Chains A and B, each alone.
Chain A
Amino acid sequence: MRLAGPRLAIPVKLALVASLLLLIPWAGFRYVRELERLLLRVQEQGLVSTARAVATALNDRPNVLLAGEVYSVPASFERDLRVANLEKPIVVDGRVSDWEQPGGEPRVESAPAIAGEPAFSYRYRIGRHGTGVYALFEVDDETVVLRDPERPELGASDHVQIAVVTADDEFLRFAIDAPGDGPISAWLVLEDGSRVPDNRIIGTWRTTATGFLVELRLPRTLIGPRLSFAVVDVDDPETRTLVGQLGTAGGTSTREQLGTVLVPSPEISELIRGLGRASSRIWVVDVNRRVLAHAGSLRRPAQPPPAEISTWDRIADAWIQPLTKRFLDEPREDFEDAPPGTYKLEGAEVVSALAGQEATRWRLTPDSRAVVLSASHPVYVGEQVRGAVLVEQTTNDVLAARNREFGKLFAAILGTSVLGALALLVFASRLSWRVHRLRDGVEQAIDRHGRVSGSVPGTGAGDEIGDLARSFAAILERQRQYTSYLEQVGNRLSHEIRTPVGVVRSSLDNLRLQPLPEEARVYIERADEGLRRLATILSRMSEATRLEPGLAATEREPYDMAAVLRGCVAGYRQSNPGREIRLAEPGGPVVVLGSPDLMAQLADKLVDNALGFATPGTPVTVGLARHGRAAALTVENQGPPLPEQMIGRLFESMVSIRPAAGEREPHLGLGLYIVRLIAAFHGGEASARDRDGGDGVIVTVSIPLHSGGVEDATGRAAAQA
């Protein structure tokens, strides 16, 4: 019995239901996202706290920041001259090597080439250490023109100009030239253009392969809020005309042309270096957003691999990480960052902090590879905002933590899901197997003739399927009892009727012995005839049921079916003169295992049926053929076809398709039932169908051939006969 529509097996349905388990990883993913958001908020708060702490440390310490004038001068960044704090001392010896330290990076000034003249550029470094401010100029100059004692005037040779506004607001101009390599000192240029030696500024001049190099030391006290350098190039030793002048600010001639000098106090650097944390960066800016100091790096230090790698970690690395990478960004440290020489900060949070309002900002690195979180806080001197602190950190720590957690969660969920799914699958398969077994058991318990021949499996189980099996078993038992009752009813009837028949018969016999008038004898004969028919009915009714227990006791022997059929057909021809009974048999013996007597009885029933149904004058054909490993006995007659509704039931007990009227011989429908029993005894089966064309019926009994030889069969037959 198949239902229409899509048919889903129990395991498939359970798998569909179990697919809801996939919601668990999804929920876990949501959970981890939420966790990440929380962690980022915590990180934000942490950064704000750090910024506040740094700012608090800087509050009300003006000397730690910058000298006063810087704050009042509107920043013109082009003129700003930043003086780095150098950690290591500088020896004024004309060598560059001692500048190779933080803050000692070269800066470049260059001028585009003027027509006919080569380009002019130089690199300079400036830094502070202790009480001195040091500067080094590397000038590219094809023709170095030194100071000529003959023409000593200023401007007649390559030289460096320095202009400062001191802390006492005094405007001073210096010039440095040299007669050759070696220690030098500066000239103080007076207002009238004359010059006097001034030993406050000392240095070293050295001619190099590409030009010349000047290293200078200025006393810290000399330098106030403003400072400018300029390098003046003279190329023609004859004319000594000025070819180019290139400075760090607008010029060195007037006070206004000078640039602002920024000399961060070493305390700031010390302070924030102490506050700096791993993988975070702290900036301190002035009101003009100029960077006064910074410390730390956004990049996290490389994680040393753990000394001991557990099996679990190896599994996680091999299986979980590739999965988590599909869903989550992996934090990476190769992002693009602001260059180390960044001088001015532009972020909105800086602007906000300088307006007195602490702020936070999220931004992507320019290459979008990392997210940077920054928090700012204003620095106060008195009531006035004098700067800001900016603390930056990437979210990589949080991302790494998130990924780690997600990996663990994912592994746990995956593990339990797989286990759960497997358990469900096993359970469902077993359930399905049991239902299948029950179905097959029930289907096989009833053979196609409706007899209960087997038992239902799985009746011992305590659950619902067990209940089902038990109720099937109960139904089958009732069915078996009913079938058995139907099969026994004939026997019982015949048994019960036989005694009254005996009474009638003995009474008639007694009567016959009495002197009776002749006309009375007619009635006795008629009663006798009725009794004879009644007796035939009784014996036929019990024939089938008597046969069954007999079958169990009958021994099977190999015999030649063809020989039995030949004998039978000869007998039928003898007892049915005037009827044509044909026999079609294959050559040679057809050996089967069973009982020849029963086979003869089977043939009797089939031929009797065929003769009964055959159209008068038409032959009945008995055929025997070998089909593979089976012998097929067919009995064929012309006549009415089988009634359609009866085809499946012909071989059942007490099913008859003969017309009831006009029959001398009683028919109980037991003949084909006996055929079936005998066929089954031979391990074969019987079937009936209409002849092609529908003008008759063919009954076929197929019986497996005996594997033993003919000799065996004939030998046994001879011994038995």
Chain B
Amino acid sequence: MAPRRARAAASRYIPGRGAARLSRRIAIVEDDPGLRANYADVLRRQGYEVAAHADRASALQAFRSRLPDLAILDIGLGDEIDGGFTLCRELRGLSATLPIIFLTARDSEFDTVSGLRLGADDYLTKDASLPHLLARIAALFRRVDAQGSDAQAEDAIERGPLRIDLKRVTASWRGTSVDLTLTELWIVHALARHPGHVKNREQLMGEARMVVDDSTVTSHVKRIRRKFTSLDAGFDRIESVYGMGYRWREA
């Protein structure tokens, strides 16, 4: 995913600041009409422009004529079991930087990993509450905005080689950007904010604004570790405290 980020400057979409919020356009591709309408309503009420699609074909057609600023995709679309995955791949082909969130009923590890591999920025189950969803959308837009500006980050923490910029929604390890999803970033942030303090799973879930079970937290932590160790084989800062949770270890 790192090369994709590098191409950000080449992106067609260059957001403006300030008035951007009013002009944000969010596409929802969801086959359940009730859910689709609810999401659309709440997003409109938040001031976003919403384009709702029921299936992959109509969504793709609309995307080809005009790309949204953010896409929320369901995986199962009507008869297409993996229609969301296909659409995600196609959307990535149209834009490398467009934020994509999977919002789906499917919560298996396999689906999560598949979705994130296809270039989604986050993967939520439909248990997620609307405020959580809105927080994520806002954070993702913030990240997009930050990439276009040169402004010095204010809301950032540094823990040794780790640097988390909440404003830009990015993390780096020894100066190298770590490609974390929003959920992962929030988990790392929650741990690193108070090094040495054990955060249990419930706390991490709260910080990451998600409603999942313990084992999902475990697999998130596993993925986070893997991402760090791929940059630095000696990475051992996230420590498991069995039966209690995790903590960030100072070097």
Contact = CB atoms under 8 A, between A and B. Distances in A.
B130 A509 contact: yes
A510 B42 contact: yes
Nearest to A607: B243
Contacts of A357: none
Contacts of A545: 108
Contacts of A569: 243
A572 B126 CA distance: 30
Interface string B22-54: 000000000010110011011001000000000
A433 B243 CA distance: 52
A601 B126 CA distance: 24
B35 A499 contact: yes
**Chain B interface residue count: which class?**
35 or more
B89 to A, nearest CB: 23
A701 to B, nearest CB: 16
A318 interface: no
Contact of A543 (B110, B131, B215, B249): B215
Contacts, number: 119
Contact of A539 (B130, B131, B212, B245): B212
Contact of A509 (B42, B212, B222, B240): B42
9 contacts: A498-B125, A506-B38, A535-B211, A539-B127, A543-B215, A549-B109, A571-B244, A600-B243, A719-B236
Given A498-B105, A571-B242, A597-B222, 6 more contacts: A495-B106, A503-B32, A503-B35, A540-B213, A575-B200, A721-B236
A563 B243 CA distance: 10
Interface in B207-251: 211-215, 218-219, 222, 236, 239-245, 249
Interface of A: 491, 494-496, 498-499, 501-503, 505-507, 509-510, 513, 535, 538-540, 542-543, 545-547, 549-550, 553, 563-565, 567-572, 574-575, 596-597, 599-601, 603-604, 718-721
B39 A506 contact: yes
B243 A567 contact: yes
Contacts of A506: 35, 38-39, 42, 130
Contacts of B242: 563-565, 567-568, 571, 596-597, 599-600
B243 A570 contact: yes
A581 B140 CA distance: 44
A64 B49 CA distance: 157
Given A503-B34, A506-B130, A542 B107 contact: yes
Nearest to B244: A571
Nearest to A573: B243
Contacts of B39: 506
Contacts of A600: 242-243
Most B CB contacts (10 A, CB to CB) among A498, A502, A601, A721 go to A502
B129 interface: yes
Nearest to B238: A721
A550 B243 contact: no
A499 B77 CA distance: 12
B219 A550 contact: yes
Contacts of B240: 596-597, 721
Contacts of B213: 539-540, 543
Given A506-B130, A509-B131, A510-B41, A567 B244 contact: yes
A539 B34 CA distance: 22
Contacts of B125: 498
Contacts of B244: 567-568, 570-571, 574
A141 B126 CA distance: 152
A572 B241 CA distance: 12
Given A509-B129, A535-B127, A604 B35 contact: no
A505 B127 contact: yes
A503 B108 contact: no
Contacts of B106: 495
B174 to A, nearest CB: 19
Interface string B43-87: 001000000000000000000000000000000000000000000
A671 B212 CA distance: 17
A503 B31 CA distance: 12
Contacts of B215: 543, 546-547, 550, 601
B235 to A, nearest CB: 10
A419 B183 CA distance: 79
Contacts of B249: 721
Nearest to B213: A539
A510 B38 contact: yes
Nearest to A574: B244
Contacts of A542: 107-108
Contacts of B218: 597, 601
A396 B129 CA distance: 116
Interface in B160-175: none
A507 B34 CA distance: 8
A513 B131 CA distance: 10
B124 to A, nearest CB: 10
A601 B236 contact: no
B108 A549 contact: yes
B108 A571 contact: no
Contacts of A550: 109, 215, 219
A509 B128 CA distance: 11
B214 A604 contact: yes
Given A539-B127, A550-B219, A603 B236 contact: no
Contacts of B241: 567, 571
Given A495-B105, A506-B38, A568 B127 contact: no
A231 B239 CA distance: 147
A226 B236 CA distance: 148
B243 A603 contact: yes
Contacts of A572: 243
Contacts of A718: 236
A543 B109 CA distance: 11
A721 B249 CA distance: 9
Contact of B45 (A502, A513, A567): A513
Contact of A510 (B105, B130, B211, B212): B130
A412 to B, nearest CB: 73
B40 to A, nearest CB: 10
Contacts of A549: 108-110
A545 B45 CA distance: 38
Nearest to B33: A503
Nearest to A547: B215
Interface string B109-148: 1100000000000000111011100000000000000000
Most A CB contacts (10 A, CB to CB) among B125, B131, B212 go to B125
B42 A720 contact: no
A485 to B, nearest CB: 17
A501 B241 CA distance: 34
Nearest to A719: B236
B187 to A, nearest CB: 15
Nearest to B212: A539
A721 B239 contact: yes
Contacts of A719: 236
A265 to B, nearest CB: 127
Contacts of A501: 126-127
A200 to B, nearest CB: 146
A537 B101 CA distance: 25
Contacts of A568: 242-244
A513 B42 contact: yes
A509 B34 CA distance: 13
Most B CB contacts (10 A, CB to CB) among A553, A563, A600, A719 go to A600
A567 B127 CA distance: 30
A447 B244 CA distance: 35
A575 B214 CA distance: 15
Contacts of B35: 499, 502-503, 506
B31 to A, nearest CB: 9
A571 B127 contact: no
Nearest to B242: A567
A721 B34 CA distance: 46
Most A CB contacts (10 A, CB to CB) among B109, B200, B240 go to B240
Nearest to A718: B236
A499 B32 contact: yes
